[in-house]
Structure 1
Amino acid sequence: MASGVLSERRTRGRIPPHILPLVVLAIGLLASAAAGWQVERLSRAKDQERFQGAVQQAQDDILNRMQAYIGVLRATAGLVAAEDGAVTREQFAAFAQRLQLARVYPGIQGVGYSAVLPSAEGPQAEAALVRYGAADITITPAEPRPQVHAIIHLEPLDRRNRAALGYDMFAEPTRRAAMERARDRGRSAMSGRVELVQEIDDQKQAGFLIYHPVYRGGAPPATVAERRARLLGFAYSPFRADDLLRGIFVREQQPRIHIAVYDDAIAPQNLLHKSFAGAPDQMARTAWFTAVRPVEIAGRRWQIAYYSTPSFEGDSTRGLGLAFFAGGLVATLLVAGASAWQARLRLAAEAEVAARRESEQQRELLVGELNHRVKNTLATVQSIAAQTLREGKSLEDTRDSFESRLLALSETHNLLTRDHWRGAGLRELVEVELAPYAGARERIDVTGEEVWLAPDTALALGMALHELATNALKYGALSGAEGRVRISWRRRAEAGADRLRLVWEEAGGPPVTPPTRRGFGSRLIETGLRRQLRGEVELAFRPQGVCCTIDLPLEAAERATA
C-alpha cells in the first residue's frame, strides 16, 4: 500500500508527456535568447567603441592638419616681419616654393600676405605697392574707407589666386571680424563661412580664411593699442572647405565615417563640407551611429557631425547574436522533437479518433438536413399539384400551370443552393422570378434597397412573385402593350424589429373586376405568406389594376428558418 501511494505521488509530480516538449522548448528558447541578447549587446558595445575611436581619430587629424597650416602662417609672418613688410614678389614666391605646399600641405588654397595701405588709390598707395614689388595690381573696392588693406602676395600664383590680388578683405564684414580679432589678440584667427574671391568657376565651394598678424618692430606688442599702431598686415591662407577636408582624408579608400562640418552652429546655411551625397538629416536616420563633436581652431568653433559608413557597418559583428540564437534554437528543436515524438504519436491517434467521430456527426447532420429539405420540397410540390388540379382547367392548361410553378420553385432553389442555403437577396430573387417574362421586362419597374432573406422567406416570396407575374401576363397589366407593373419595397424598424413592406402595383392594363372565387395563386399569396411567415397580405382588385401589399417581420422569418 505504501508502494502504491509512493507511485501515485511520483505520477502526480511528473510533467505530462504532451507538456514536456513545450517545457523543453520554452527553456531552450529562453536560454538561446539570453545568449543571443548578450552577444548582441557586446557587439553593439564594441561597434560603439570602434565608432568613437574613428571619431577621435578624425578629430585629431583635422586639428593636427589645421595646426600645421597655422604653423605655415607663423613662418610666413616671420618672413614678412623680418623685412619690415617689404617682401618682394620674387622673395615671397621663393619662400612659398620651398614650403612645397601642394605636397606637404594638401588642401591649402595658398599662402599670402595682405598689407595695410595708406589709401585705396593715389600717390601714397602707388608708392606702397612699388615698395612691395606689386605695382601691377589694382586695389578693390576703390571707394574711400578708414582702413585699406590689399592682398599683395599670394602663392601659388595660379589663375584662382591671381583673381584675388589687390582685394581688400577688410572691406567685407566676416573677413574683417577675423582680421580684427587676430590683430587685437596677437595670434591666429579663423573667419566664418565665406565665398572666396578665388571662386571664379560655376562649381563653387564654401570657404574660410585664417589670419596671423604681422607687426613692425622687434618684440611683439603687449597692448591692444600698441598692436593696432604697429600692424603691418596679415599673413593668411584661404581654404576651399571641400578641397581641404578631402585632402585630410584622401588616404582612406573606404572611410569608416562620413562627416558634415558646420561653422559655429549646425544649420544648413553654416554647412562648410559634407563627405556624402544626400541630406544630413537622411544620413542621420540611416547611419547606425552618429555623433557631434565641437572643435576649436584659431579662436573659432566648428561643429562636426559624424556618421558611420556602410564600410564601418560591414565590419561589425552585429548579427552574431542572431546566429547564436539560431544555433540554440536548432539544438532546442532537436531536443524538443525527440521528447515530443511519443506524445505526438499519441495525440495523432487521439486526433484521428476525434476526426472520425466528428465526421460521423457531420454525416448524420447532413443526412438530417437533406431529409428535412426533401420533405419540405415534396410537401410544397404536393400542395402545388393538389391546388393546380382543383382549378378545374383542361389537362394541357393544368400541365402548363403545374410546370411553370415547379420551374419557379426550382429557380428559387437554385438561387438558395448557390449560397449554400444561407439565404438570398431580394433584388436578385425578383430578377430571377421575372426572367421568364423578358419580353415585358422593360415595362416592369423595380425599386428598393438590398434586403437579405432567409431561405423559407425567399421560397415563399418567390412563389408569390411568380403567381403575380403569371396573372399579370395572362389577365393583367402585362397582357396589353400599354400596361406597366411597379414592384417596390422598403425595410423599416417597428417596435424594435425589422419589417419588410413589398408592393406589387399594376396599371394601364384591362379593367379589373374582383374574381368570384379565389384561385390557387390568390390562396398561395394570401394564406401561404400569412401562415408560413406570419406576415400580412392585402390583395386588392382595383379597376385600374391589381395591387398586392405584403408586410412581414424579417426577424420572425429568420427565426422561422433557424
Structure 2
Amino acid sequence: MHRLIAPLVFSSVLIIGAGTCLFLYNGAQRANQTQAEEFADEAVDRVMQRLDQHLSLLRATKAFFIAHDSVVERIQFRHFIDALEITKHYPGVQGIGFAKWEKTGDETPSLAALQQDYGPDIRIWPDTDQSMRTPIMLLEPQDARNQAALGYDMFSEPVRRAAITKAMSSDQIAATGPVMLVQEITTNKQAGFLVYTALVGQLDSSEISHAETLQGFVYAPFRAGDLFRAAFAQSPSLPVLVKAYDFGNDAVTLYKDTMYETQLQRSGTVLPDRVITRKVDVADRQWIFDIIVLPKQHWNLQDLAPFIAAVAFFLLACMLAWITHSQLRALRAAHNLRALSEKSLTEKDLLLQEMKHRIKNSIARILAMARQSAHHAEDIDSFSLAFTARLQAMANAQDALTRSHWQSANLKDLLTKELRQVLGDESCDDRIMGPDVELDESTTQALGLTFHELSTNALKYSNVSEDPDVLFVTWSLVKVGRTEYLHIKWVEVSRDSLRAPEHKGFGSKLIDANIRGELNGKIERHFGKDGLTVDIIVPVTSRPKQTVR
C-alpha cells in the first residue's frame, strides 16, 4: 500500500493541475473568441462607415441638383465635384454622375448635349429593347475610365435596371448587385456596384404622378476592391481575412455573388476552422461578410497561462512525489534496519547450531572412514595412505564450500582438485567437459568423496598412470518434469576386457552410500571389453550458467 502513496500524490496533483489548466485554457479561448468577434465587427464597421461617407456624397450631389432646379451645366457640376476631392478623400468611388430618364427614340437632345460637353465622338449606347433609357450625361471627375462610360444606357442592363426601378419607386438610395463597371478598361479588373437616387421635379398638381416628373438619377459607381482596401488600410491594421458577398433579394438578382475577397500576402497561412459571419443592409440590399481572424503572431500572457500552469503543476507533482517517496524510503529503511538486526541475531543462533551439527557430522564421518580404512588395510602404512587421501578429499570439498561461504561449490573445480590430487598435476581440462554447475553443501561433500574413490580405483585398476588420456568425465543437465537432474558420465578406456568384481569394497560402498543414500540419486557401473563406464544421476536445485567449459 505504501508503494502507491507517491503515485497517488503525483496523480492527484496532476489531476488538479489538469483541471486548472483546462479552466485557464477555456478562459483564454473565450477571450480569443471575444477578441475575434470584436475584430470581425470592427472590419464590418470600417467598411460601412466608409460606405456611409460615400453615400453622403450622393445625397449632397442630389441636393446640389435640387438647388439648381435639376438643370446643371457640366462646368458647374465639374467645379462641384472637384471641390469634393473624391480621388483624394474617397477611394473606392469611381465618380459621381447623372443619368437622364427619357423615352427610347427621344435621345437626340441628349446626344447633342453630350457631344457639346465631352466631344463629338460621344454616343449613346448600347442598343436597347426597353421603352425608356438612362444615358449617362454627366460623370466627374473625368479620366480615361469615366470617359469610357459616357453615354452608356444603364437601363439596358438587367442588374442596373432593377436598382434604377427600386430607386424610382421608393425615392430611396438603391444599390445594384455586383457588376463589371464599363469603366473597367484595364487588365486590372475588379467587381463593382452602383447606387442610385432618383431626381424628381416639383409636382405642380396632385394629378401629376411621381414618374411623370422624374428627371433622372444621381448615381455613383464603386470599385469594390478599392473601397474595401481603403477601409482596411486604416490604423491599426486588423488581422482578418474577409470575403464579402452580395445576397440579392429581388426577382431579378436571386444569387449570392462575391463582392470582395482578401488576397493573402504570404503563402502557407493556416486558416482556423471557424468563420465569423456578419450580415448588413446596404442600400436596400444585403451584404454577407465571412471573416476569418488570423492566428496571433505573438503569444501574450493570457495564452501562455495554461502552459505555464501545466509546467508548474507538473514540477510541483514531481517534487511532492519525490518528497513522499524519499520519506517512505527512509521509513522503509528504518524498518529494514530493525528487521536486519533481528535477523542477524537469529542467524547468529542458527549459525552456532549449524556449526555444532556440522562438526558432529564431520567427526562421525571421519570416525567411519577411520574404521573402514583400518578394516581393509593390511598394515599401518596402507591405513595411513588411504585414510589421509580420504581426509584430503573431504578437505577439498570443505575448501570449495568455504570459498562460497558454505553456499555452493563449482562442479568442475571440485572434480579438477580430486583428479590432480590422485593422478598428479597434469592438466585435466581436455578430459572433463560440461556446463557450469553450482553444487550445494551436501552434494559437494558427497560428490567430493565419490570423485576421490573413482580416481583412486582408476589409478589402481587401469593404466591411467601411464596414459592419462584414457580417462574422460562429462556431465550434463536433464530436466524431467519440474525436477532438474545432473548426469555425470565417468569413462575409463582399457585395452583389456573388464568384468564386474564379485565383492564390493569400502570405496564402492562409500560411493553408493553417498549417491543413493545421501543424495537420493542413481549410480550404474558398466564393465565391458573397452573399459569402465559409470553413470551417476542426482537431483540438483541450483540453476546452471549457460557457459560451456
TM-score class normalised by the smaller sequence: 0.5 to 0.7
Aligned counterparts, 1:152-167, within 5 A: 152-167=137-152
Distance 1:164 1:288 in 2: 43
Question: Of the candidates 231, 245, 256, which is equivalent to residue 248 of structure 1?
Answer: 231
Distance 2:255 2:174 in 1: 23
Partner of 2:135: 150
Spell out, residue by residue over 1:223-252, the C-alpha distance to the aligned partner (whole angstroms, 9 max, x if none): 9x8222211111111111111100111124
Aligned pair 1:258/2:245, yes or no? no
Partner of 1:479: none
Distance 1:126 1:264 in 2: 36
Secondary structure, in 3 states, of the residue corresponding to 1:91?
A: helix
C-alpha contact 1:107 1:248 (8 A) present in aligned 2: no
Aligned counterparts, 1:95-244, within 5 A: 95-119=80-104, 123-127=108-112, 129=114, 137-143=122-128, 145-217=130-202, 226-244=209-227
C-alpha contact 1:119 1:147 (8 A) present in aligned 2: yes
C-alpha contact 2:247 2:256 (8 A) present in aligned 1: no
C-alpha contact 2:40 2:293 (8 A) present in aligned 1: no
Q: CA deviation at 1:83?
A: 2.9
Aligned pair 1:21/2:3, yes or no? no
Aligned counterparts, 1:307-386, within 5 A: 307-311=292-296, 314=299, 317-341=302-326, 371=477
Q: List alignment gaps of at least 5 residues for structure 2.
A: 337-407, 409-433, 439-474, 480-549
Distance 1:68 1:366 in 2: 101
Amino acid at match of 1:21: A
Distance 2:18 2:290 in 1: 35
Spell out, residue by residue over 1:34-64, the C-alpha distance to the aligned partner (whole angstroms, 9 max, x if none): 1111111211121122122222222222222
Partner of 1:88: 73
Distance 2:299 2:144 in 1: 43
C-alpha contact 2:93 2:223 (8 A) present in aligned 1: yes
Distance 2:119 2:69 in 1: 16
Partner of 2:443: none
Distance 1:122 1:341 in 2: 103
Aligned pair 1:275/2:262, yes or no? yes
Aligned residues: CA RMSD: 3.8
Secondary structure, in 3 states, of the residue corresponding to 2:188?
A: coil
Give TM-score scaled by structure 1 length: 0.54
Q: CA deviation at 1:371?
A: 4.4
Distance 2:437 2:81 in 1: 108
Q: CA deviation at 1:257?
A: 2.1
Spell out, residue by residue over 1:356-381, the C-alpha distance to the aligned partner (whole angstroms, 9 max, x if none): xxxx9xxx9998997459xxxxxxxx
User: Structure 1 pair 118/64, CA: closer, same or farther in 2 (3 Å)?
Assistant: same
Aligned counterparts, 1:467-546, within 5 A: none
C-alpha contact 2:243 2:262 (8 A) present in aligned 1: yes
Distance 1:335 1:216 in 2: 89
Question: Of the candidates 35, 44, 54, which is equivalent to residue 69 of structure 1?
Answer: 54
Q: CA deviation at 1:85?
A: 3.3
User: Structure 1 pair 144/294, CA: closer, same or farther in 2 (3 Å)?
Assistant: closer
Q: CA deviation at 1:102?
A: 2.3
Give TM-score scaled by structure 2 length: 0.55
Distance 1:212 1:142 in 2: 24
Spell out, residue by residue over 1:457-491, the C-alpha distance to the aligned partner (whole angstroms, 9 max, x if none): xxxxxxxxxxxxxxxxxxxxxxxxxxxxxxxxxxx
Secondary structure, in 3 states, of the residue corresponding to 1:45?
A: helix
User: Structure 1 pair 344/17, CA: closer, same or farther in 2 (3 Å)?
Assistant: same
Partner of 2:402: none
C-alpha contact 1:88 1:133 (8 A) present in aligned 2: no
Larger-gyration structure (1/2): 2
Secondary structure, in 3 states, of the residue corresponding to 1:292?
A: strand
C-alpha contact 1:265 1:303 (8 A) present in aligned 2: no
Distance 2:33 2:273 in 1: 9
Distance 1:189 1:122 in 2: 25
Distance 1:201 1:216 in 2: 38
User: Structure 1 pair 248/366, CA: closer, same or farther in 2 (3 Å)?
Assistant: farther
Distance 1:184 1:29 in 2: 70
Q: CA deviation at 1:324?
A: 0.7
Q: CA deviation at 1:75?
A: 1.2
